[in-house]
Chains A and B, each alone.
Chain A
Amino acid sequence: MSNKEKYNKAFMESFSIEETILGESLEYNTIPEWDSIGHMGLIAELEDAFEISMEMDDIIDFSSYKKGMELLAKYEIAFEA
């Protein structure tokens, strides 16, 4: 599985949403599933999927689908264009 696929899967599983919802317009609190509780679940999924442990500053800065990919670069997780 590519990193992008893993990333998408974490979103789809945490929020029980379809792939079509994923994209640049997906931000924290824009869908009911992505509230603070959903966010905690998402971070846990991502940490498991990429075997990382995220820093607090990154967890609270993770405000959108797009921003998340930028933040994961710090953990040496690259997303092909």
Chain B
Amino acid sequence: MSFFNQLEEHAQNVAVLTPCGQKITYEELLSRAEGLAQNIAERSLVFILCKNNIESLSAYVGVMRSGSVAFLLDENIDQSLLQSLCSRFCPQYIYAPKSSAAKEVQGKEIDACANYVLSKTDFAIDYTLHDDLALLLTTSGSTGSPKLVRQSHQNIDSNASAIAQYLGITRDERAITTMPMQYTYGLSIIHSHLLMGAAIVLNEASLMEKRFWERLKAEDVTSFGGVPYIFEMLKKLRFEKQDVPALKYMTQAGGKLDPELTTHFVELCASKGMKFYTMYGQSEATARMSFVPWQDAGDKIGSVGRAIPGGEFGLEDEAGQAITQSETVGELVYKGPNVTMGYAGSFHDLNKGDENMGVLHTGDLARRDADGFYYIVGRKKRFLKLFGNRVNLDEVEGLLSQQGWDCVCAGDDDAMRIYTTKAQDKEAISAYVADTMHINRQGFSCVTIDRIPRNDAGKILYAELEKRCG
């Protein structure tokens, strides 16, 4: 049985602290969740447009407890992207704020909670959801990729309990949200705290806002997590000068943190009596695959650590053979109960069973040191990370091509380059990437090249791109 159905055990504990000062117990959270879920027919697909607030969280808990399937999306999703996801997945219900993009989706309002509305949609297509399917998440933030990950309750439960175990989460913890709940890392923090009957300090403010710091201190927050750019912000803000006695640890995942910054935070945390955890994961593995024990942090800078409890890492060479010796680079392969069922591109995929059988080829190239710690050294697949969100370059090219722009995408983490041969389209492309795909302009640049370099077989020569910039 899913941990979502055992939350009654924590009935009197505080589950959520809201920005307006409410303390919501597990009992109250469950009663809110039940109120919404009773309107949802058995085994339905429910789109939840979320924000880190009590309305979104209780709706999510309600859907998960009722045995239906949730798909979590950003509340600020672009209208056309939502329409396209709706026509691909035909959800039976949409739960969203009144003023969001969901208001354009045809349906009938059946329940309301504050400014949120639960609607029964008009999609008449009858399809089957696989018995094990519990949750759908996007693989790349809000860029509109229709490639979703299919997660089961077993995936979610096993990952949440492994995380709770290695971080030593107890019911006395209070984690503040620093990332959106539809983002796999943000959601894993929520899951692992709910599992243990701990509290979640719901927060929408960024680290660059005064109200974040006021709440961190006022609510005696014990931990938070961050993607690399959050740690760049902490450095910029000279976090070392902050007095935060209740804070016990910080976690970092969602991309590789610069080794100098890792050292900075490992030392800073040690001097403040705090723990620092570098971690590694993917939504294909529910969330987490490995972590560096805090005691080893100083000696293992740049490492993603060892596999989480219940999981196992291995390396494979190009022929698919296991690499047994240390310091040899190969593809990182993970085995564990949190490896998700597979992908979904439309409702046709929602009746599929487990296609991965507990094995995930991560697409990351890594080596293992003599102590068994893993280090990511590169990537096999063409994607990069922009502010913690994975961006598949082939998908971005595809989305731009649908808009009539033939572009080539390349670059590094936090610096995507979009190459076009048409200088006059540069601004329109940038505006589309920023406004529709929701990628901050600081994360990419659009440049003109005279022509797209290709070899005789027509394959794009990515290494030649920079030389051709005009």
Within 8 A of A (CB), among B230-246: 232-233, 236-239, 241-242
The verdict on A32 contacting B210 (CB below 8 Å), with A38-B442, A56-B238, A56-B242 known, is no
Q: Is the C-beta of A70 less than 8 angstroms from some C-beta in chain B?
A: no
Min CB distance A3 to B, Å, is 23
Q: Is the C-beta of A61 less than 8 angstroms from some C-beta in chain B?
A: yes
The verdict on A60 contacting B440 (CB below 8 Å), with A36-B233, A40-B232, A43-B236 known, is no
Q: CA–CA, A5 to B283, complex, Å?
A: 46
CB contacts (< 8 Å) of A32 on chain B: these are 434-435, 438, 440
The verdict on A35 contacting B210 (CB below 8 Å), with A43-B236, A56-B237 known, is no
Q: Is the C-beta of A28 less than 8 angstroms from some C-beta in chain B?
A: yes
Most B CB within 10 A of own CB, among A15, A16, A36, A40: A36
Within 8 A of A (CB), among B412-470: 430, 434-435, 438, 440-443
Q: CA–CA, A59 to B237, complex, Å?
A: 7
Min CB distance A43 to B, Å, is 7
Q: Is the C-beta of B206 less than 8 angstroms from some C-beta in chain A?
A: yes
The verdict on A36 contacting B207 (CB below 8 Å), with A16-B441, A43-B236, A60-B213 known, is yes
Identify the closest chain A residue to B213 (Cβ): A60
Encode contact with B along A31-67: 1 for CB under 8 Å, 0 otherwise: 0110111111101100000000000100111010000
Within 8 A of A (CB), among B201-259: 206-210, 212-213, 229, 232-233, 236-239, 241-242
Min CB distance A54 to B, Å, is 9
Min CB distance A34 to B, Å, is 10
Q: Is the C-beta of B387 less than 8 angstroms from some C-beta in chain A?
A: yes
Min CB distance B420 to A, Å, is 17
A33 touches B434 (CB 8 A): yes
Identify the closest chain A residue to B178 (Cβ): A36
List 19 interface pairs A-B (beta carbons < 8 Å), by A numbering. Answer: A16-B441, A28-B209, A32-B440, A33-B440, A33-B441, A35-B206, A36-B208, A37-B229, A37-B442, A38-B440, A40-B236, A43-B236, A56-B239, A59-B208, A60-B208, A60-B210, A60-B213, A61-B210, A63-B210
